[in-house]
Chain A
């Protein structure tokens, strides 16, 4: 038993792709290949990586929105990945999700009150209608929404306001754990800070644990406790959010850090060669990053490196040569 609030062990997710009618091949996309992470209570565990690296799939697998092909998911020490809907229902109130695009994640025909009341009615059937109303008003106040919004429809709100409503919906059942999948990347710059501050405040008030999925490393630096860097369905580096910026161990993490545009300028003076994610249907046999890696050797192309603690640090990296 661990004291982690959420744990995954060897999580695998494979999606069967449509077969060609003339071909016997059954292509399989490996979205996650053996992801093991532990998320501690009260922390902000960030998952970063580029599109297609599996970060959203990981969030969805933990939430039970996709059933993993192999591996285990634990919530408060209880295995949840094989539960059926009835078993899972009491757990759902404790784990909720905020999605990227508040223009897509809110039902346009449902007013704010109905949107917020639905999770309570469904997941907490013991609540009376008066209690539901009280709970909705509480969560609106906590997320900086005006009580008068309740009878209004999503189209009447700006992107930032909608994201507040989406956060309120995730919080209305008083969960302990929230998966936030790129919650600020669809918002304008001046609004992003508002939403990040709201998430920070809520965490302090309610002791929330976040799984924060993002591609923006500057957000991780400000907001994260620990961070997992993913590439092609694998965790490449697992480190404290503070140390990863000062002392990245994996060459891919280094590449990501080098790619951030800086206000001081001057980071893009040299041309960069095109690099791209390998095909997730036919991943390379060794390290998935080897084709783009400047220090890759023969061993990297044949033997897949395992996540290991790098001596002299608390960081884990999946690289033969990291030190």
Chain B
């Protein structure tokens, strides 16, 4: 049994009085201890929705309409709010995109760290303080002791994100869900934070769910990869394999459109059109209006996920061919 097993997860939002639209449309995912998986997709593909669903944080009026999320065999969706609090933020932690929004601007770093720790553990303030300083040292914050008294605005963006990571690590979680943890940061700071996350995961056997739109970041950090499109997983497998030889035309298109994969000065490959909103999905495969390989079969039915790809006409290993 895997540490985290998600099966046929669906999230729905009401539309009008009776109707519903689905933001997640049947996601399967397993995560073993210490494993790092990347979730890639464009905005609106449902990748953050998946993170919120795992933590049972889907806001009203949305709801998980179907599926199971088993953490060590227990379904998180059946748990009482009280029970889930022993897991959320404790055994499964989160890191969000913008550290300035995550941190409370009117509390010192120390206050918010100690508060977090005391919410989950019976521990004296003095002991909590020491644990917090240790974690700040772990994420390589210089002069950690004195930073406990600093306010978030006194720190640079990179240090703030390090503080957020330190807070996520306070309770020694088993899984970290990081939603675009470096998107708001500069490239050199992003490099520092990626290197830090990678080291922490390895040293502590931490599992990571990394949500991002950046294929380069995914390639650097994760072992497995799931590519999402319009609330569905369209391709999943080993990160290295997908990047070397994508099977789904969408995955292939994303990779081919990257400037670093193009001849200098030549025209970039472009995927025509844009992703449909979940309220106006086409019939069949959601990608077919943008896909050069689509035929009537694709317009009629949604291809099932088989051998890691949801496509009736996947690309062959050696076919650079038309997408």
Contact = CB atoms under 8 A, between A and B. Distances in A.
B188 A263 contact: no
Nearest to A195: B270
Interface stretch (B62-70, B117-125, B170-178, B208-216): B208-216
Interface in B233-275: 239-240, 243, 253-255, 257-262, 264-265, 267-271, 274-275
B259 to A, nearest CB: 4
Interface residues of A, number: 45
Contact of A261 (B42, B214, B239, B265): B214
A2 interface: no
B43 A263 contact: no
Nearest to B270: A193
A193 B253 CA distance: 10
B274 A196 contact: no
A193 B262 CA distance: 11
Contacts of A194: 270-271
Contacts of B274: 158, 160-161, 188, 190-191
A215 B186 CA distance: 8
B254 to A, nearest CB: 6
Interface residues of B, number: 50
Contacts of B194: 261, 268
A88 to B, nearest CB: 33
B39 to A, nearest CB: 14
Contacts of B190: 259, 261
Contact of B159 (A188, A264, A267, A274): A274
A274 B163 CA distance: 12
B259 A196 contact: yes
B257 A270 contact: no
Contacts of B217: 261
B186 A265 contact: no
A263 B216 contact: yes
Contacts of B275: 188, 190
B121 to A, nearest CB: 28
B191 interface: yes
Interface in A173-201: 188-194, 196-197, 200
Contacts of A218: 258-260
B318 interface: no
Contacts of A268: 191, 194-195, 198, 220-221
A219 interface: yes
B43 A222 contact: no
A266 interface: yes
Give the most central of B142, B194, B220: most A CB within 10 Å: B220
A268 B218 CA distance: 12
A221 interface: yes
A259 to B, nearest CB: 4
A114 interface: no
Contact of A260 (B141, B187, B243, B261): B187
A275 interface: yes
A191 B188 CA distance: 25
Contact of A188 (B213, B221, B239): B213
B219 interface: yes
Interface in B82-115: none
A15 to B, nearest CB: 19
A254 to B, nearest CB: 11
Contact of B220 (A160, A215, A222, A262): A262
Interface of B: 42-43, 140-142, 156, 158-159, 162, 186-192, 194-196, 198-199, 213-217, 219-221, 239-240, 243, 253-255, 257-262, 264-265, 267-271, 274-275
Interface of A: 50-51, 158, 160-161, 188-194, 196-197, 200, 215, 217-219, 221-223, 242, 255-256, 258-277
10 contacts: A50-B188, A188-B42, A190-B257, A191-B274, A193-B271, A222-B260, A262-B216, A268-B191, A272-B195, A276-B189
Given A193-B257, A261-B214, 16 more contacts: A158-B274, A189-B42, A191-B274, A193-B258, A194-B270, A196-B259, A218-B259, A222-B265, A260-B187, A261-B194, A263-B215, A263-B216, A264-B219, A265-B240, A275-B188, A275-B192
